[in-house]
Chain A
């Protein structure tokens, strides 16, 4: 199958963030960036699909400045055949604009399957994949936690809150990948060396005029230091109260 994986370069999830002096972005000094976690699951799924189904082609695509090339190479070191870099200086927070740029690249490419991560660490919006599918007019399954594709059709499982759906879909399709479906392989040294020579094409990203912009960024108020609220069974009512009112998780 011809499979495309759209990936994103995001900062490491363990990072502590500071706001840049501009107030509209994070301060990138000292941050480590890498292939986004969910995108890496999508890459792994793509590689496994072609390993199972017989020979095919995998292509990885990313939107962003030149720094995303490192991430494209990382995906190729896992085994992806080639990469396309849709170049833009800043990735706008407008998911639909990014989807338009990707759709322009994917259209007419003859892809059987296009994979995305369910969402990316930075926005956790999960917009781009589904919007891209809609723009291409193909089937779309989001947050697949199980995936099987054979003979032009596919089956996927999606987790809902407290339930699970089994979905059938036709190809071509866009599928966004949830965690737990596959463990991204660790690139071997051989893979890392090979990736340096694989083809990477750069083109301008056709984003159009973004209609979402960052007005400001703030750090959330400091997490109040944890406290022991009481001892024994007597503390339970207080805990319930705090979970309901303060933490708002109940």
Chain B
């Protein structure tokens, strides 16, 4: 071992050691969080890792930035092998993978290093161009965020350049040392060779620069948003946002637990996975750019929620773990307003994630549309953090917008978020000859399917028309169905979305009791919120039913040709279908409503608004926002309505009563007279007169 080797070994030890200390520290902070098992369903997790992580599927949702990032990422992965080789060579000069690999494999490996180094240089150049010249809106952070980005881009670029230059110089000094597969290095070497025929100093200098850059880069990670380099693949594996299990299901809560507080007010009440999400955020801003609240000028930014979680953990972690190594404390706590400026331990104790970092206003602005979760390339679950903080606000502190209180009280007293008489629930069915479960049970009879109407469909004048339309379709198809009538009451989803888990569980358990009393197996509903709640969240409380949304159900009926449709052409319509968040992003139902429209209207043109399907913009009513005032910025429903109207469609179609209200209001607000229909109404309108 030469002196150089010994020095390098020392440097390596220090660099690696320092990194290990930081890793240990960061892991210790994660332990502050609640426990959670994320090692179940390994096959699904591996699939996610391969597609979202390795194949970068979510990154490519932005094709240009996606190509750029994928290049850098794949380059990184490929070049890691080379990095290992170089670090070993630093200690054992004679080492090479050529000694271990079969020749063809080694050649391929060697070629890949060169090619990717060049590709990455190109991608980095584009990245600089993008930040400096193109200024994409979602990358607008504070000066520290920019500095961080330039440092990283610079270091990566530097790594590639020093690698190529080192190889080039070694090639000049000893052409045999760089194989012909390394055509980039060789090419570069030919050029440099004309300037300096014997770069005997430069070669090792470039090599050392490269090696030191590796160690610098590594140790910079914990202080940078680029920590995601270390955590993102792990985060994707451990995430549930693309399964395993049903998407968009809120975490179960044990209300009997003898705990001081419910939900989360600070980082220890989040799970270690939420905290890992904090580490993994690259501040790319795709979530915030897709957030309907943020787009319309509210203070909510999903990116900020995640960064704040990390900032708070970095603020509190050292104090709780008794970490005395103050100089290890990250200085670059930047982004989204900076950290809360704690200078003493007392400050840290007085702060918490809720209020100090994340305000009520932000939390209540969320429509739970899941666009942020959909976009995140490292599978962060922003919504989970928002929901846990909401639970704390409501259950522990009774803090929520005052206009929500009547909704809670009405749910408790009347079983509906609006103050309507429960006795009026089935008035829409008068004269339609629809049996109730109770009536059938009295005769010892049971229907094939229960039509769950929902509160909107039972009480709202506009939504009642949807209910009647769907009931007519069911009758025309001879479906053996019944309704709960006055025995139906809200399943509690609005309460749950607004953080009131206590009220939710009361209503949900009672509903499960009623459904089980009648041994209900199959349910069809025209409301996506009811669909999601009963079908996907009830199992948490022991209610297991097969629930179908009416768009899927009608499509099935149409496919089976059971729907007696009029034979004439019907109106020539251009329709813009508005995707419901709880149907679409939550349950992947995008095609059924569209197919339904196509089958029902033989001459129809479907046009897609700019943001469509899994990028569809929320109507603004989800997450309990239907029951809240919108006080800031532009109205979300107007933003979406304008987008739908911009398609030039003759009509807007929806598949959700909340969307119906929001789009109808939106159309009126912009003084348009474009009609809004539910897909059930479109089909019912086409029922042949014999039906």
Contact = CB atoms under 8 A, between A and B. Distances in A.
Nearest to B410: A14
B502 interface: yes
A187 B503 CA distance: 11
Interface in A184-241: 185-192
B413 interface: yes
A190 B258 CA distance: 10
Nearest to B415: A32
Contact of A12 (B255, B262, B414): B414
B396 interface: yes
B421 A14 contact: yes
Nearest to A11: B413
Nearest to B420: A14
Contact of B502 (A14, A183, A192): A192
B413 A186 contact: no
A16 B486 CA distance: 13
Given A189-B262, A189-B502, A14 B413 contact: yes
Nearest to A188: B398
Contacts of A188: 394-398
B262 A14 contact: no
A80 B136 CA distance: 55
A193 to B, nearest CB: 9
A15 interface: yes
Nearest to A185: B398
Interface in B259-300: 261-262
A32 B405 contact: no
B402 A14 contact: no
B421 A16 contact: yes
B419 interface: yes
Given A32-B413, A32-B414, A183-B402, A15 B395 contact: no
Contact of B395 (A14, A16, A34, A189): A189
B666 to A, nearest CB: 29
B408 interface: yes
A176 B394 CA distance: 30
B351 to A, nearest CB: 22
B257 to A, nearest CB: 11
Contact of B414 (A14, A183, A191): A14
A15 B415 CA distance: 12
Most buried by B among A32, A185, A186, A187: A186
How many chain A residues sit at the interface, stated as a range, is 10 to 19
Contacts of A191: 398
A122 to B, nearest CB: 15
A34 B421 contact: no
Contacts of A15: 421
Interface string B434-452: 0000000000000000000
A192 to B, nearest CB: 7
Interface in B365-406: 394-398, 400, 402, 405
A32 B396 CA distance: 26
B341 interface: no
Interface string A112-133: 0000000000000000000000
Contact of A190 (B396, B402, B405): B396
Interface string A62-100: 000000000000000000000000000000000000000
A12 B398 contact: no
B405 A186 contact: yes
A187 B402 CA distance: 13
Nearest to B416: A14
A13 to B, nearest CB: 8
A102 to B, nearest CB: 26
A185 B398 CA distance: 8
Most buried by B among A32, A34, A190: A190
Contacts of A183: 402, 405
B94 interface: no
Chain A interface helix/strand/loop/mixed: loop
Nearest to A32: B413
B423 interface: yes
Contacts of B261: 190
A231 to B, nearest CB: 22
Given A188-B397, A189-B262, A189-B396, A16 B423 contact: yes
Contacts of B502: 189, 192
Contacts of A12: 413-414
Contacts of A187: 398
Contacts of B405: 183, 186
Nearest to B261: A190
A14 B419 contact: yes
Interface string A21-44: 000000000001010000000000
A190 B398 CA distance: 9
B405 to A, nearest CB: 5
Nearest to A184: B405
Nearest to B405: A186
Contacts of A189: 255, 262, 395-396, 502
A185 B420 CA distance: 22
Contacts of B423: 16
A183 B405 CA distance: 10
Contacts of B419: 14
Most buried by A among B400, B405, B413: B413
Most buried by A among B397, B398, B402: B398
Contacts of B408: 186
A34 B394 CA distance: 21
Nearest to B404: A186
A186 B255 CA distance: 18
Contacts of B397: 188
Interface in B119-160: none
Contacts of B394: 188
Contacts of B420: 14
Interface string A167-192: 00000000000000001011111111
Contacts of A186: 398, 400, 405, 408-409
Interface string B645-664: 00000000000000000000
Contacts of A190: 261-262, 395-396
Contacts of A185: 398
Contacts of B402: 183
Interface in A5-23: 12, 14-16
A32 B411 CA distance: 12
Nearest to A78: B398
Nearest to B421: A14
Interface in B458-487: none
A139 to B, nearest CB: 32
Contacts of B395: 188-190
A12 B409 CA distance: 11
A50 B409 CA distance: 25
Given A14-B421, A189-B502, A34 B413 contact: yes
Nearest to B256: A193
B425 to A, nearest CB: 12
A190 B261 CA distance: 8
Contacts of B400: 186
B491 to A, nearest CB: 18
B531 to A, nearest CB: 27
A222 B598 CA distance: 48
A190 B262 CA distance: 9
B574 to A, nearest CB: 36
B407 to A, nearest CB: 11
Nearest to B402: A183
A189 B504 CA distance: 12
A183 B402 CA distance: 9
A190 B402 CA distance: 19
A162 to B, nearest CB: 28
7 contacts: A15-B421, A34-B413, A188-B394, A188-B395, A188-B396, A188-B398, A189-B502
Nearest 9 pairs between A and B by C-beta?
Answer: A188-B398, A189-B395, A12-B413, A186-B398, A189-B502, A32-B413, A16-B423, A14-B421, A186-B405
Given A14-B420, A32-B413, A183-B402, 8 more contacts: A12-B413, A14-B413, A14-B421, A32-B414, A186-B408, A188-B395, A190-B261, A192-B502
